[in-house]
Structure 1
Amino acid sequence: MSLGFTPAVEIYGANAALLNERLLNWQHVDAAGIESDQLTLSIDLQGLEGLPDLGGKIGLRVGYLESGLVDKGEFVITRRTPTLFPLRLTLVATAAPFSAADQTGFKQRRSVSHGPTTLGALFRQLTSRHGFSPRVAPDLALIKIAHIDQSNETDMGFLTRLAYLHDAVAKPFNELYVLARRGQVKSLSGKILAPVMLSVTTNNHPGDNAFVSATLDETARAKYQGCKISWWDAAAGQERVEESGIAPFKTLRKRCQGADEARAAAEGEVRRMVRETLKVNIVCPGNPALGAEGLVVLDDTWPDFMRGRWSIDKVTTSGSRKDSYRCTIAATCLASAS
């Protein structure tokens, strides 16, 4: 994607004219399923009567005048924070349907038992009652669940825990709710993200609009190659242990409710340990093509130990009337990074 050099941002939806006219700065967080996407706007309140309504739906388009703007989706305003000095308003909007009325009980905590069922059926049941259209990856849909308890958890919190148990991601995208492996979420939601190539300029220095910085986290290297987790065998009246992978084993402290749950948790943890061998944090010029669940490719202009393909966990983009448009990327290495 060829980028321009004049950053541009546009808010659409509720109070769009007012927000665009008075926008001071903005931040968009695109996360890989662990948290809801979030948009934060800072608005000049000088001379303004009244405030934008809670529950209003707004959208974000961002990019460059020369290359065009990219739609980053819609958000619901969930928090308004006015300040007196300076006279400003901070609006926080989330991609998940956190409305004040909460007619479907999306924020309600529940304690209920589920099963026997499948992961796909349970996911569809819980998301459909909140008005979502569920999308489940085929390799996850038929996983059997003999019994699992939802213990004082919201449906969203419970679904996130279920996804984590199987090394997957559960995430809302406007009217859709997607359950998939990492890297598949955008495909199931209909948004295909092409890999983004990132280069370092020959004159890379702070203050330059093209400046790129990065921090490599080598403390994330896997110490274990296997996992052990216990479960209670009520019929035999004793604790049993499930193993996945090979020694050295990581022992998970939680106790599962059955052999199937324990086996899934152990296998999911091994997949996670293999994947999360190395992490990188990158600060670079804004690029609307970057998104959580996508790939960033560090080319030959990078040091050899950073080159290769990285899976994006989180992208935080921000901009203001004074500063240039920037991205902060948190990513996990794939096999080609060394």
Structure 2
Amino acid sequence: MALGFTPVVEIYGANKDLLNQRLISWEHIDAAGIESDQLTLTVDLEGLDGLPSLGGKIGLKVGYRETGLVDKGQFKVTRLTPSLFPFRLTLVATSAPFSKDDETGFKQRRTASHGPTTLGALFRELVSRHGFSPRVAPDVSLIRIEHIDQSNETDMGFVSRLAKKYNVVAKPYDDVYVLARPGQTKSLSGKVLANVILSVTSNNRPGDHAFVSATLEESARAQTQGCTTCYWDGAACVQREVKTGMAPFKTVRQPQPSEADAIAVGEGEVRKMLRQKYKVKITCPGDPQLAAEGLVLLDDTWPDFMRGRWSIEKVTASGNRENSYRCVIDAACLDPKAEAKD
């Protein structure tokens, strides 16, 4: 996607006229994993009588006048923080539709036992009771769970613990709650994400509209390529080990209730270790096509050790009334030397 030169941001939904007229700066965090997406707006209140009521749902469209805007979704206002000298208001909104009244008891702590079941069936049971529409990746849905206890935990906390255990992503988007592998090329809400090609200009320098900077990190902890997990064999009354991947092995010390659980946890750990081997942080011109769970392709204008496909874990986009628009990308890759292709 070719980028224009005139950044444009548009707020829609509740109080859109006031927010658009008085917007000073904005920040949108689009993150993979269990972290909810967040929108932060700074609004000028000078000349207004009293503090306006700015609740409800708001949406964000961002892009360039020359190439059009992209809808980044809707958010529910969760926090208002006024300040004096200058008289401003910081508004924070999240994509998770939780209300302070908590009509469905999503924040209520529960104790229950589950199993035998599958991860998909348990996830659907937990989120459907709160009015969410569950969406589960097919391979994730079939992960077997022999037994697991929910011990004085909220349903949200329990879902987060399940996601961490099996190294999958559980995340709410408006009225949809999704469960899938990290790093997929489709967004968790089901929309197909574009592969964004990023180039470095020949005259790359700070202050230039197209300036790009990046840092690469190779994790020493990610040198392990396998995982050892254990489970209790009740029939033989012994604890057994399961090895996944190849040496050197990382050991997960917490015993699993069954061989199937041990295998699932081990496979998830191996995928996580491979994804975390290389990390890159890129600061670049704002591009509305950049999104968590998508791919950024660093082409042959980059040094050879950074070229290739990188899985986006987080995008922090921001701008202000001076019309600046920049993105910070946090991404992971198995092999940054892989050739970038369209």
**TM-score, reference length from structure 2:** 0.92
**1:87 is the counterpart of 2:106:** no
Moved more, 134-143 or 156-165: 156-165
CA-CA distance at 1:87 after TM superposition: 1.2
Moved more, 101-110 or 206-215: 101-110
CA-CA distance at 1:22 after TM superposition: 0.9
**1:314 is the counterpart of 2:314:** yes
Moved more, 295-304 or 118-127: 118-127
Letter in 2 for 1:105: G
Contact 1:244 1:267 in 2 (8 A): yes
Residue 149 of structure 2 is matched in structure 1 by 149
**Equivalent residues in 2 for 1:39-54 (5 A)?**
39-48=39-48, 49-54=50-55
Contact 1:119 1:141 in 2 (8 A): yes
Moved more, 18-27 or 220-229: 220-229
Q: Aligned residues, how many?
A: 337
Contact 1:137 1:188 in 2 (8 A): no
CA-CA distance at 1:107 after TM superposition: 2.4
CA-CA distance at 1:323 after TM superposition: 5.4
Residue 327 of structure 1 is matched in structure 2 by 327
Moved more, 294-303 or 316-325: 316-325
Residue 295 of structure 1 is matched in structure 2 by 295
**1:76 is the counterpart of 2:76:** yes
Please report the RMSD computed on the Cα atoms of aligned residues, expressed in angstroms. Answer: 1.9
**TM-score, reference length from structure 1:** 0.93
Q: Distance in 1 between matches of 2:210 and 2:220?
A: 29
Residue 124 of structure 2 is matched in structure 1 by 124
Q: Distance in 2 between matches of 1:309 and 1:334?
A: 9
**1:97 is the counterpart of 2:97:** yes
Q: Distance in 1 between matches of 2:140 and 2:19?
A: 42
Q: Distance in 1 between matches of 2:153 and 2:54?
A: 29
Q: Distance in 1 between matches of 2:270 and 2:335?
A: 15
Q: Distance in 2 between matches of 1:306 and 1:220?
A: 18
**Equivalent residues in 2 for 1:278-293 (5 A)?**
278-293=278-293
Contact 1:23 1:41 in 2 (8 A): yes
Residue 251 of structure 1 is matched in structure 2 by 251
CA-to-aligned-CA distance 1:41-79 (integer Å, 9 cap, x gap): 11111122333344x100000011111110000000011
The DSSP-based 3-state class of the residue aligned with 1:17 is helix
Q: Distance in 2 between matches of 1:303 and 1:187?
A: 29
Q: Distance in 1 between matches of 2:198 and 2:248?
A: 36
The DSSP-based 3-state class of the residue aligned with 1:152 is strand
Q: Distance in 2 between matches of 1:136 and 1:219?
A: 30
The DSSP-based 3-state class of the residue aligned with 2:107 is coil
Contact 2:143 2:264 in 1 (8 A): no
Letter in 2 for 1:124: R
CA-CA distance at 1:188 after TM superposition: 5.6
Compared CA separation, residues 333 and 185, structure 1 to 2 (3 A): closer
CA-CA distance at 1:235 after TM superposition: 6.0
The DSSP-based 3-state class of the residue aligned with 2:253 is strand
Moved more, 223-232 or 285-294: 223-232
Contact 1:169 1:185 in 2 (8 A): no
Q: Distance in 1 between matches of 2:109 and 2:63?
A: 39
CA-to-aligned-CA distance 1:67-118 (integer Å, 9 cap, x gap): 1110000000011111112211111110011211111122233332211111
Compared CA separation, residues 337 and 148, structure 1 to 2 (3 A): farther
CA-to-aligned-CA distance 1:272-298 (integer Å, 9 cap, x gap): 112222110000000000000000000
The DSSP-based 3-state class of the residue aligned with 2:42 is strand
Q: Distance in 2 between matches of 1:253 and 1:306?
A: 35
